[in-house]
Structure 1
Amino acid sequence: MSQAKTEKAIFAGGCFWCMVKPFKEWDGIVDVVSGYTGGTLENPTYEEVKKGGTGHYEAVEIEFDPDVFPYSELLNVYWQQIDPTDDGGQFHDRGDSYRTAIFWTTDGQKEEALRSRRALDESGRFGKPVVTEILPASVFYPAESYHQDYYLKEPGHYEQDRSDSGRDEFIAGHWKN
């Protein structure tokens, strides 16, 4: 029996706590890890990234089986978790570490991400330009263990933070199914 081939995808969408659960519970998702990427400091800590100046984004690295859950579907889930028109952070989390970005790990991911962003921008869904960057992946540093699967470890705090941030209200207002 052959093992499934997996790929990795990296998405920055503001606070990484809010970016794990939407991806984690799909068939074909092997793992979702909270961490930091895109900066210059090696092995950054949460406090260093939050303070600023490292260049890192809070992000999630997703290991997935593209035969079960294709990259195009990851992109669809991603866009529905963020405000892609905000270049100053996400919701109540402000600053460079909370900006949105798609970090591609293959040329195919790059092309799909560019196509997906262009289609979303041209859809007029937001009334403002989509500013989410599409960047080559760099070293991904897993965050401290207490940040991993935060929605499971601290469900009350997680739900309160999501509610207070305005994220859920924004999503409901822009992505009615």
Structure 2
Amino acid sequence: MEDNNRQEIATFAGGCFWCMVKPFDEQPGISAVISGYTGGTTENPTYEEVCSGLTGHTEAVQITFDPTVFSYDKLLDLFWMQIDPTDSGGQFYDRGVSYRPVIYYHTEQQKLLAEQSKKDLEDSGRFDRPIVVPIEKAQTFYPAEDYHQQFYKKNPQRYTSYQMGSGRAGFIQRHWRESHE
């Protein structure tokens, strides 16, 4: 019997990983969204070490998905709608290297699709500043501590307050309103 459930991995950094889980977690064909750290030099870093900015890691989400149900292109579209792609110094309220937005590719095909997606967003004229999100080769991904996993489900009130207070929710509404309707 043939297994039609093909799984791939995608990794995105878009500021606070709490806010990056829910949009992907709610999509068909996505079997896991894990908050964690990647792109740095320290093995098995802690949240406190990553937040210090000394490890070089970014907060990121690693997504396990079935590309026949939810394509990598659709993941990229959803990623862009969660961030300010013109800000390389962090995202919204969160500043510093650990909050910078990055697309981490796992295959050459993902790299090509990410580059095209970035170019398409730049060419769309949706933003009046350059799209500055780097596209980098995926590195070792370290899952974050348990209390960070599925934060939006464990702490819905705090999650909603953070999303609103950080400026993320308002930014998404202003720039992507028609995409959410």
What TM-score bracket applies, with the shorter chain setting the length?
over 0.9
1:95 is aligned to 2:92: no
Q: CA deviation at 1:2?
A: 3.0
Residues of 1 paired with 2:170 and 2:127: CA distance?
14
Aligned twin of 2:167: 166
Aligned twin of 2:118: 117
State the 4+ residue runs in structure 1 displaced beyond 4 angstroms: none
Aligned twin of 1:37: 38
Aligned twin of 1:153: 154
Deviations, residues 97-153 of structure 1 (Å, cap 9, x unaligned): 000000000110000000000110111111000000100000000000000000000
Deviations, residues 43-96 of structure 1 (Å, cap 9, x unaligned): 000000001111100000000000000000000100000000001100000010
Aligned twin of 1:2: 2
Aligned twin of 1:80: 81
2:160 alignment partner, SS class = helix
Runs of at least 5 residues in structure 1 that lack an aligned partner in the other structure: none
Residues of 2 paired with 1:70 and 1:56: CA distance?
27
2:87 alignment partner, SS class = coil
Residues of 2 paired with 1:90 and 1:135: CA distance?
18
Q: CA RMSD in A?
A: 0.6
Aligned residue pair count: 177
1:55 alignment partner, SS class = coil
1:176 alignment partner, SS class = helix
2:59 alignment partner, SS class = strand
Percent identity over paired residues:
58
Aligned twin of 2:54: 53
Residues of 2 paired with 1:52 and 1:135: CA distance?
19
Residues of 1 paired with 2:2 and 2:143: CA distance?
28
TM-score by structure 2 length?
0.97
Residues of 2 paired with 1:2 and 1:134: CA distance?
34
Residues of 2 paired with 1:158 and 1:88: CA distance?
22
Residues of 2 paired with 1:87 and 1:100: CA distance?
6
Q: What residue identity is the alignment partner of 1:125?
A: R
Residues of 2 paired with 1:68 and 1:161: CA distance?
31
